[in-house]
Structure 1
Amino acid sequence: MSPPSRGLRGNPLMTLLTSALSTGFLLFGYDQGVMSGIILSPSFLQTMGFPSPVVLGTLVSIYTFGAIFGSILSAFTSDKLGRKRTLIFGTVLVFFSGLCMSISRDRIQFGISRTIVGVGIGYITSTTPVYQSEVSRHEQRGWQVCCQLTTMLIGLALAYWVNYGFYFRPGEAQWRVPLALQCVFAGYILVVAPFLPDTPRWLLRRFPDNLERGREVLARLRGKEEEDAEVKLEVEEILKAVDRESKAEGTWGELLKDNNGVKAHKRFYLAVGIQFMQQMTGINIVTYYAPMLYKTGLGMSEEQALLLGGYTQVWYVLASFATWYIIDRVGRRVLFISMALGMSAVLVGEGLATASGTQLGAVMAVVCLFLFEGCFTWGWMACVWIYPPEILPLGVRAKGSALAAAADFIGNWLVVQVTPIGVEKMGWKFYLVWAAFNLVNAIVVWMLYPETGGLMLEAVDHVFADEIDGTIFEHGRLVDKLQWSRVKVAAEAMN
């Protein structure tokens, strides 16, 4: 009997596939946000033996170490087993370890379970952007990855509101139910994913002696027949990319080499850099510590801080829908630069408003946090997660994307560690540090990062390949800042 998805073609198949991949990022968002309320639960603190601030911080941040580890491990399975089976494996880890978290009886069991949840999330977040990028049409790739990031924010907001709802419920249900809820989302992926196809790009590269398999999957995804001219052209371009990289072995070392003229090493540095820079925007100050900022910085009660933290995340979700419209129309590069400058300005305003100590200043500080989240989601949310799969060559895409995701989690951990100390020691001046980082981010993107929006993944090779004009990385440095015009040149090279 054929799996149910074999009857699906075109948009229905893409909808099912995108829903499963987006749920993976919903898990990511939920796990990021759920601990912000859990650590305020008296029942949780009692069960964990009233941990010190250091131990409590470790229980929160140990998840990030697991995610770093999982991101790196995913590269081994993604190339060998495929994107689909790697996603399933990561989700299985989240399902069972999430269940163990919800029934934990001491801090050791909780810490081990949370670490394994992090490993699973590392697998999921490293794999799903690559998976989505490799199955999407080039003109729709941006907004379909945006779906994943919007569901991540829905997961984040859901975590805040679930925490708020169970805050008024006495006993262990106050924290056990919110933790158990993640198993529901993981369960959906485990039900749907086995019936989805793997990516045609992975199939064509992994099984060169069975091209029919990859061609058939691509035709189903596009809703066309295998003999359709569009399908044939896309298969041809994928095979050309595979042929260009045929001398490379797809090993970790290939990430640090030219890789047959497609500049894999330069592209790898850009991929890792953009994901680390995402964390240097300071977004996880708000993600993890919004209630704390409202409580300690603005003098709100615990209940008020939790409530406003929930409203902050609702705005975060609503703002993200605008990115669906603009990401493929405006492009990645303009959004990176303009929104980094916007976040820099808003954080200066946040610091000054907090420093004023007035009621008006408190209101303006809240407004600035809302504007900050808006600028981030419009420019540095989906754009960052889609950029590494877009810019990396096919042969090292999984490995490069995995290390880029690991860089994101490393930056995440750094921000989570320094924020409580920074807020305590520097007060409002701490916001100015992140304003400066955002200014640096804008300059770095302007100087180094090319536009990838609207191009087939194989066309990005032409942005970097020597065959264009041999000057992109002339004398080891970038020339002409990889302007928008180079995208046109690359597109012409595909014809």
Structure 2
Amino acid sequence: MNQWSGVNALCYYLAYILEIYLGFSQSIALILASVAFTQYAVFSWPPYFYIDRIGRRRTVIWSSVGCAACMAIIAGCLLNSSYTTSAVAVAFMFLFLDCFTMGILPVSWSYSAEVQPLRVRNKATAVGVFSHWMSNFVVVMVTPIGLNSIGGNYFWIWAIICASFVPLTYFFGVETSGRSLEQIDQMFFEHPRWLMGVEADCTKVVKQTAEDEEMRHKAYAKYDGFDQKEKHVEVVHHEEAK
């Protein structure tokens, strides 16, 4: 979803699109692109404060809705270029980057590791990173061909793909916010089915305070310590028996 949202189809060629398709001068196009990327970096911080409160699923769903709407408006503006439509297109390009970086971007990097079984987490994460950059390569190589062939209609494709993320997340995505990795594993064991997104227990956001986290970690530490102590006693008894 990170790459197939079309974010890099826009980012990599933003200055080119502004200059060729919207009629801005080269200097203005570069200034607008630099401002857009600065804003992109700034808006990557807010998810830190709400991603665990509202949950991964809602974050991705609302982000996808915003990205799809922005791409559709950008596509419409590029079909009939004028001063007004150019201004609207630039505004929604900025808004698209905001919607993406406040939803799909942060979840995509954490979610893959969270839902993988412990025994294959390292391999699965490697596959995820590989597919991420291979998708990036495909998108960036295809974009010039798409723009030259169908112009602004190219962005309708990304609007449709972003819209498809909503049902995909709703029906297949589980909620990992507030759950430990062990609890996520248990969730897959208890509700093994294709459409796990329709299971109420798999989609609710678990609200945990800092005190709850502290107690949980202390409980794990206490259990591990007790377990190690028992093993030590067993070894001593075994040696004495010898």
Report TM bin, short chain: 0.7 to 0.9
Q: Distance in 2 between matches of 1:487 and 1:366?
A: 36
Which deviations, in whole Å up to 9, do the C-alpha atoms of 1:194-214 show, x marking residues without a partner?
xxxxxxxxxxxxxxxxxxxxx
Higher relative contact order (CA 8 A, sep 6+): 2
- Return the alpha-carbon distance in structure 1 between the equivalents of residues 90 and 63 of structure 2: 19
2: CA distance between counterparts of 1:439 and 1:456?
A: 30
Checking the alignment, whether the CA contact within 8 Å between 1:294 and 1:300 is kept in structure 2 is yes
One-letter amino acid matched to 2:58: V
Partners in 2 of 1:447 and 1:399 — Cα distance? 25
Distance 1:480 1:411, change over 3 A: closer
What do residues 38-57 of structure 1 show as CA deviations (whole Å, max 9, x unaligned)? xxxxxxxxxxxxxxxxxxxx
The structural deviation recorded for 1:354 is: 1.8
Matched, 1:359 2:83: yes
Q: Deviations over 1:414-457 (max 9, x none)?
A: 11011111111111111101000011111111110101111111
Question: In the superposition, relative to structure 1, how do residues 358 and 391 fare at CA in structure 2: closer, same or farther (>3 Å)?
Answer: same
1:472 aligns with 2:188: no
1:373 aligns with 2:97: yes
TM-score of the superposed pair, with normalisation by structure 2: 0.81
Matched, 1:413 2:130: no
TM-align CA RMSD: 2.1
* Structure 1 residue 401 corresponds to structure 2 residue 94: no
Q: How much does 1:490 deviate? A: 9.4
State percent identity of aligned pairs.
Answer: 30
Q: Within 5 Å, which residues of 2 pair with 1:180-259?
A: none
- Runs of at least 4 residues off by over 3 Å: 487-491
Which runs of no fewer than 5 residues in structure 1 stay unpaired? 1-276
CA distance in 2, matches of 1:486, 1:433: 31
Q: 1:395 to 1:288 in 2, by over 3 A?
A: same
For residues 444 and 314 of structure 1, do their structure 2 counterparts lie closer, same or farther at Cα, with a shift above 3 Å needed? same
User: What's the counterpart of residue 315 of structure 1?
Assistant: 39
Contact 1:464 1:472 in 2 (8 A): yes
Distance (Å, rounded) in 2 between the aligned partners of 1:420 and 1:489 = 41
CA deviation map 1:197-241 (0-9, x unaligned): xxxxxxxxxxxxxxxxxxxxxxxxxxxxxxxxxxxxxxxxxxxxx
What's 2:213 paired with?
A: none
State the match for 1:347 in structure 2. Answer: 71
Distance 1:419 1:396 in 2: 34
**Structure 2: stretches of 5+ with no match in the other structure:** 208-215, 220-242
Instruction: Give the structure 2 partner of residue 22 of structure 1.
Output: none
Give the counterpart of 2:181 among 451, 457, 472.
Answer: 457
Secondary structure class of the residue paired with 1:447: helix
- Residue in 2 that maps onto 1:336: 60
Please give the alpha-carbon distance, in whole angstroms, between the structure 1 residues aligned to 2:199 and 2:90.
38
Match of 1:298 in 2: 22
Question: 1:430/1:488 Cα in 2 relative to 1: closer, same or farther (>3 Å)?
Answer: closer
In our comparison, the structure showing a higher alpha carbon Rg is 2
Match for 2:144: what amino acid?
Answer: P
1:461 and 1:489, CA in 2 relative to 1: closer, same or farther beyond 3 A?
Answer: farther
Deviation at 1:301? 2.1
User: Residues 163-174 of structure 1: matches in 2 within 5 Å?
Assistant: none
Answer yes or no: is the 8 Å Cα contact 2:172–2:197 preserved in 1. no
User: Of residues 446, 466, 478 in structure 1, which corresponds to 2:170?
Assistant: 446
Q: Which residue identity lines up with residue 318 of structure 1 in the other structure?
A: V
CA distance, structure 1, for counterparts of residue 143 and residue 82 of structure 2: 23
